[in-house]
Chain A
């Protein structure tokens, strides 16, 4: 067996998005020995996802003039490169961390995500968790039909592979991110039949200029509005998709106008043809590693479970720092600033010189971005009555194929009365994605039935995943002899 152990790191950073990259570079440049572990073969995370750099001829790279924040990425990437060449930082790409465990004082276990990598075990004195987020989803009749995708996934195909997942597209859900997805699709030549925003957007959409002035914004809203206008993309507020049609492949969707709570207005049905439906209801922080190390959590304004940090990005667990979407969805700018602050704090806690001016500047940037994010979350919240769109046979859990009726029956007939209880009784969330896709929806459905608002503990039980990603039995067996010591 090859030696998989990487010992003696001052810091292990999990995630190479805006937060993790900033943490790595900041800590590395202050003299810490850092191991950066990320699933991707190249850094960037979700925001800076770009085509495989080894093939610039077949998959053109973004340009700084057309891609927001691209110059910043190039700068960080160059600094990372310098640190790697200087031996300060090791970038363990193509590795999925499945567990962070106690051991001198931390052991980070990762499995190979790609074919060229092998599993690794990293010993580190401190940890930064910067694992980002994934699209939040709400089930709707027909949402398991091929051709229905997460809005972020549609974006990822475009940004990372230059692939347009359909020709005629409906984009639906809530939040400014939908505009960015629709604009990307329109520019790639897709016909965007409609962008359906569930909320009225009296907040940010009415003031696109204010949005532009705000450096902490989630997406560059006004720029996308221009693109959408140029392509004549219909933008509809207070409109949702209540059904997706097609067997084997999406053929269309039913749109409905809704009231403030998300109740469909009578007679407002409209059927549109489409071969791609992109759905996004905000983002859910990827929290299992933070929950796994025992970090304290709370429910954020957008209803997501997030991990608690102090003003310097320390979690409630000594030696564990958190940065980016895991502390509350705030977008790339906030993530980057939090990452830099986490790197700075980890270095200072390890005895390196502090930089009070940088610290103050980062804190200000985070506070500003956070204020904007809170306003945005309020303007684009999930309508409370969304479960009224569901039929009894609408699947809630895509993996285990558990439908709405079964979830409701678990509460009504079997007295399962919190999300964890429903999960173990009726099996939603017990499949391969470990409840990532249905966890939020499940907690809403149970809450409707029990009339109890989900608490942080309920959501944390759904975010508990002892294995953050599946691991081959033979690979687990290698731990049998305590080989990592």
Chain B
């Protein structure tokens, strides 16, 4: 039953299952992935902390949109989730992700 409705999102090239209704952060945590962001100063890994959208530690790029909170973003089939890298340049407007 439950397996029938298990879907997948793609995180950094890897398939991660989720159950509809879960957040991206919940899906990653359930898959044992605990970090998806690197800090600007210390280049340290970060993932979920507050779990309710107030700490902004769980930022991730979702379908090309930067700085999304993983704990607040619903997971979708086929969603492309990429770890956040503070050094990656912004997309130009009109670019592939505009």
The answer on A and B forming one complex is: yes
| Cβ–Cβ < 8 Å partners of B74 in chain A | 41, 52, 114-115
Q: Shortest distance in angstroms between B40's beta carbon and chain A's nearest beta carbon? A: 7
Interface residue? A249 (CB, 8 A): yes
Alpha-carbon separation in the docked complex, A155 to B25 (Å): 14
Does B50 lie within 8 Å of A157, measured CB to CB? no
A18-53 residues with Cβ-Cβ distance < 8 A to B are 39, 41, 46, 51-52
Interface residue? B89 (CB, 8 A): no
**When the two chains form the complex, which single residue of A160, A165, A248, A433 contacts B54, counting CB atoms closer than 8 Å?**
A433
Does B34 lie within 8 Å of A163, measured CB to CB? no
Q: Shortest distance in angstroms between A20's beta carbon and chain B's nearest beta carbon? A: 15
| Cβ–Cβ < 8 Å partners of A250 in chain B | 34
Alpha-carbon separation in the docked complex, A399 to B21 (Å): 28
Q: How many residues of B contact A (CB 8 A)?
A: 39
Interface residue? A162 (CB, 8 A): yes
Interface segment, A55-63, A301-309, A352-360? Answer: A55-63
**When the two chains form the complex, which single residue of B40, B50, B56 contacts A134, counting CB atoms closer than 8 Å?**
B50
Interface residue? B8 (CB, 8 A): no
* Residue-wise interface mask of B (59-72) relative to A, using a CB-CB cutoff of 8 A (1 in contact, 0 not): 10000000100011
Does B56 lie within 8 Å of A55, measured CB to CB? no
| Cβ–Cβ < 8 Å partners of B44 in chain A | 144, 401
Does B34 lie within 8 Å of A249, measured CB to CB? yes
Does B50 lie within 8 Å of A401, measured CB to CB? no
Interface segment, A145-153, A368-376, A378-386, A415-423? Answer: A145-153
Alpha-carbon separation in the docked complex, A249 to B53 (Å): 21
Alpha-carbon separation in the docked complex, A103 to B6 (Å): 48
Does A401 lie within 8 Å of B42, measured CB to CB? yes
| Cβ–Cβ < 8 Å partners of A114 in chain B | 72-74
Does B34 lie within 8 Å of A436, measured CB to CB? no
Alpha-carbon separation in the docked complex, A175 to B34 (Å): 27
* Residue-wise interface mask of A (107-127) relative to B, using a CB-CB cutoff of 8 A (1 in contact, 0 not): 000000111000000000000
Does B5 lie within 8 Å of A153, measured CB to CB? no
A144-199 residues with Cβ-Cβ distance < 8 A to B are 144, 146-150, 152-157, 160-165
Q: Shortest distance in angstroms between A279's beta carbon and chain B's nearest beta carbon? A: 10
| Cβ–Cβ < 8 Å partners of B47 in chain A | 146-147
With A146-B46, A157-B51 as given contacts, are A248 and B35 in contact (CB-CB < 8 Å)?
yes
Interface residue? B15 (CB, 8 A): no
Does B21 lie within 8 Å of A163, measured CB to CB? no
Interface residue? B20 (CB, 8 A): yes
Does A59 lie within 8 Å of B56, measured CB to CB? no
Interface residue? A290 (CB, 8 A): no
**When the two chains form the complex, which single residue of B34, B40, B73 contacts A146, counting CB atoms closer than 8 Å?**
B34
* Residue-wise interface mask of B (25-63) relative to A, using a CB-CB cutoff of 8 A (1 in contact, 0 not): 110011000110001111011111111111111010000
The 3 closest A-B CB pairs, nearest first, are A153-B51, A52-B21, A432-B56
23 inter-chain pairs at a CB distance below 8 angstroms, sorted by A residue, are A52-B21, A52-B22, A58-B20, A59-B20, A134-B52, A135-B50, A146-B48, A147-B47, A156-B71, A160-B23, A161-B19, A161-B21, A161-B30, A164-B30, A165-B48, A248-B45, A249-B34, A398-B46, A398-B57, A401-B40, A433-B56, A437-B54, A437-B55
